[in-house]
A and B are shown apart, each in its own frame.
Chain A
């Protein structure tokens, strides 16, 4: 860990001001990921700007019937909020599938969107990593890549995004509210994270002098037919090998809308509008869901150790959609997969 400046932002404008012109500056809220990375010398910010006291901690109803979630709402506060539990249970479930109670108490919504990959090479400064140091090489492509990307990877980086919350937000078509020197803007959550391409060191489309102020949930919460299923190497407190967020709107047994986002398989939550469209009007059956899974995974590419994730993802997609269709969502408290 290196020495750094520390300042506390008075308001959002002040935070932006403190960021501007300081490329080495980082915002800190809960710090659950940033401080870990600083201890490992992966992140070496010259300045930390504490935003934890900014007034971004409320969950408010929007004019169109959605919710606006302040960027500093703790992950646990979001998961246990009555409105979230009733209207967006998928989001509550995904959050509770991640980390531990202690971490969820500290971690913020905005910070969750900014968390970085768990690729072991990214974490170890003694090994090359393009995400840590541009053009230094990717150690994972020909190395230990059992839990690396099967979709959307590049020859520069095959890391995955570790967030559970983002996967649910992607399925819910959430929006990210951003403030910067030139004002405010919104971005679809699905556009927020980037694919690695040739610049895997840049995780998101947030500019260096911008701050996330809120996440907006559109009115439709799919509270009747949803499920979040996370498959990992132990039954709790591990990052996903594959996770699936699925929501359905059904008319009888016919699908009028389906949205599925995958976690643990790519540099960002993975969706396919085309595959989802093809499910519309179909009956909610294993056969149709299997076809959907094949379509969603069409571009999947195996590396030396992660080939199993393709078949695992296929099966997990079918299971999750069946859970959603039968209104028996995966419990995050039971020691069992339904």
Chain B
């Protein structure tokens, strides 16, 4: 029964969030709570020559200043610092470990005081002298020649370079994506609650409590039972909370040093010292026959990473899923610079790489004098070419058709600068989006009580994406109970296993864990109901029995219904508890992806260069949509972020200082209300019986992919100017 799955169910945690009842990591109280304030390095590379904390220690209310020479022990081996999503290559950053400075903004001391204001003041009194040992570098453009190839997302097919050189129509260009920061609304924070037994309860802003738990146990050499990590609510993270961040290590250090509870909250400025979407130069080459079929695709991404870890994602391989070409070559190069290690940020790799690919496709369409959709349909690939596999489902054609219809694409004049509205040039652009449909091992536990209430628990995080709600929906339907009777507990390291919440995998993964546990509950209830005297369910085939309306019944035969309460009472059970790990068939004969077609209208003031995105239509094919309300919001959020990526977002660094100069959200621009106008989200019907029981693929990333390219293509259509260095700002149009 689907009373909830697939419906626009409101967030079950909505009331808690808007009333302030939902508590975040930096809001948990503890007796005698101390506050830590971070002192950050102001050079990008070198050593700490001297760290004088004497003045800070004199301030009334300051208990201690932790530094690399004055702190409890930390693990010494790299392996101990490798969390579940750490890059394979490299040596993870260790806060307050030694005197080396690896990036500007690196924490070098933690002032711990009775209150936050005192700690912040005393932090200004910590005196630091540095030894700058070597020239540093933070500029990707300047470092490009020193890039080293680290991986090929897919094996090359044919001779792409040769075919590109010989192609009748060719487009070959660099697209530049700047460094971007996640800027979640909630600041990174950890509250470590100390109790006299020595056990530590850690409230942390994270996308994975069990990842943090394991990491803290290994870094601090603790037993699993010594530490419990919780993160019941997260105010946005977008990938920045996948890896344990340094504030949780600092809060732990202070709690262990002082045997007190400690909270550390980073400032907005300090958060620019965490991970980021790496700046990339995306070089795309497309060679086509004059009929618009592709002969060659080459895509080489050159990305920034830190000196101490190799962070690399699949920027360049996406044409393999989208466009048929007999020859292809994809590569990923890294430039190691004196910055903190980049990290995943919504649609890592794809947001940047597909942006370049889709701008390049638009340029090819112009060169071929083809409609951009027509070009994409000519190159449409029904198979994932890298493994030559069919898809479990792929309704991208339908995305193009439905999106184009809703947008009114057929009325587009193909010539650039051909459409106008008063002083503004009007441009229509489109792009394709693609992401993976991943699923991971997740377990869920359901405790059903005889009064028809169930508690569903799982260690998964809800980072604002709606996991609480979809878990409640799936459980309510599977157990045949009203959603009000379902309590969901998440993000506690002691709950059943879950990986970090990311990659768009949590919806499918958690939903199927819940389904599995609910099925075990169902079987137990059938056993109990069948055993009742003159049970209408005696001898019935288990497969025919469902849970509906608080009863156990043969499908379609409510006359056979036995109430859950009666069955459990008869079995003398007050509570049934079942825990199950999800199970997905390991079928490697299909590719699994989500897709979208994004259409954008821009209006550009011809004289002043001011750009407005007046309309966006995003048509998404992502299997079954568990919740059309939160799902629509998630896609809208992706579109807004795509507007930012196209027009606003850029972390600006002064390479003379190796320092970010707009580390605040006044100067790091994201779209504000005025920049966001009509957004139309279309969920294209995509039935998928192969991918999993519910046919769910996940929505976290797909919303942003393609949006910046659609907007940049619209700007070209409006103005005739192709801006390949993002973001597209008015000075670039006026130049």
Contacts and interface: CB of A to CB of B under 8 A. Distances in A.
Interface string A139-153: 100111010000000
A71 B42 CA distance: 39
Given A233-B729, A236-B675, A312-B734, A143 B608 contact: no
A231 B652 CA distance: 20
Interface stretch (A88-96, A118-126, A196-204): A118-126
B572 interface: no
B534 interface: no
A241 to B, nearest CB: 8
Contacts of B182: none
Contacts of A1: 117, 120-121, 124
Nearest to A139: B654
A146 B423 CA distance: 26
Interface stretch (B154-162, B235-243, B369-377, B665-673): B665-673
Contacts of A318: 607
Given A126-B659, A144-B661, A319-B608, A233 B730 contact: yes
B363 interface: no
Contact of B672 (A236, A311, A315): A236
B662 interface: yes
B60 to A, nearest CB: 10
B121 to A, nearest CB: 6
A142 B607 CA distance: 29
A170 to B, nearest CB: 22
Given A1-B120, A2-B124, A127-B659, A146 B608 contact: no
A123 B647 CA distance: 24
Interface in B569-609: 603, 605, 607-609
Contact of A233 (B124, B607, B654, B669): B669
Contact of A236 (B121, B269, B674): B674
Nearest to A312: B734
Interface in A301-318: 308, 311-312, 315-316, 318
A278 interface: no
A312 B124 contact: no
Interface in A98-120: 118, 120
B669 A311 contact: no
A3 B647 CA distance: 41
A312 B608 contact: yes
Interface string B676-706: 0100000000000000000000000000000
Contacts of B656: 139, 142-143
A131 to B, nearest CB: 15
A319 B423 CA distance: 11
A6 to B, nearest CB: 13
Q: Which of B603, B664, B666, B731 has the most CB of A within 10 A?
A: B731
A270 B730 CA distance: 22
Interface string B709-735: 000000000000000000001110011
Contacts of A238: 669
A41 interface: yes
A315 B673 contact: no
B608 A120 contact: no
A126 B610 contact: no
A120 B661 contact: yes
Contact of B675 (A126, A146, A235): A235
A308 B657 CA distance: 25
Contacts of B664: 123
B734 A118 contact: no
B734 A311 contact: yes
Interface residues of A, number: 36
Contacts of A41: 124
A85 to B, nearest CB: 21
Contact of B662 (A120, A142, A241, A312): A120
B162 to A, nearest CB: 41
A197 B605 CA distance: 36
Chain B interface SS verdict (over half): loop
A235 B612 contact: yes
B608 A337 contact: yes
A98 to B, nearest CB: 12
Interface string A224-251: 0000000101111111010000000000
Nearest to B603: A336
B498 to A, nearest CB: 37
B424 to A, nearest CB: 8
A336 B662 CA distance: 26
B648 interface: yes
A312 B609 contact: yes
A139 B655 CA distance: 12
Given A143-B656, A311-B734, A231 B608 contact: yes
Given A1-B120, A143-B654, A335-B677, A312 B672 contact: no
Contacts of B124: 1-2, 41
B139 to A, nearest CB: 13
B654 A234 contact: no
A100 B656 CA distance: 33
Nearest to A314: B607
Contacts of B734: 308, 311-312
B89 to A, nearest CB: 31
Contacts of B666: 118, 239
Given A237-B672, A311-B734, A337-B605, A124 B659 contact: yes
B661 A234 contact: no
Contacts of B610: 231, 235, 337
A221 to B, nearest CB: 27
Given A308-B731, A316-B608, A126 B657 contact: yes
Contact of B654 (A40, A144, A308): A144
Contacts of B731: 146, 241, 308, 312
Contacts of B673: 236
A206 B33 CA distance: 45
A142 B729 CA distance: 22
Interface in A37-85: 40-41
Nearest to B673: A236
A121 B661 contact: yes
B661 A124 contact: yes
B735 A235 contact: no
B126 to A, nearest CB: 12
B121 A315 contact: no
A231 B735 CA distance: 16
A236 B731 CA distance: 17
29 contacts: A1-B120, A1-B121, A1-B124, A2-B121, A2-B124, A3-B121, A120-B652, A120-B667, A123-B664, A127-B659, A139-B654, A231-B610, A233-B648, A233-B669, A234-B674, A234-B675, A235-B674, A235-B675, A237-B672, A237-B674, A239-B666, A241-B731, A312-B608, A312-B609, A316-B608, A319-B607, A319-B608, A335-B612, A337-B423
Interface of B: 42, 117, 120-121, 124, 269, 423, 603, 605, 607-610, 612, 647-648, 652, 654, 656-657, 659, 661-662, 664, 666-667, 669, 671-675, 677, 729-731, 734-735
Among all A-B residue pairs, the 9 with the closest Cβ atoms: A126-B42, A236-B674, A235-B674, A308-B731, A120-B661, A237-B672, A315-B607, A335-B674, A236-B672
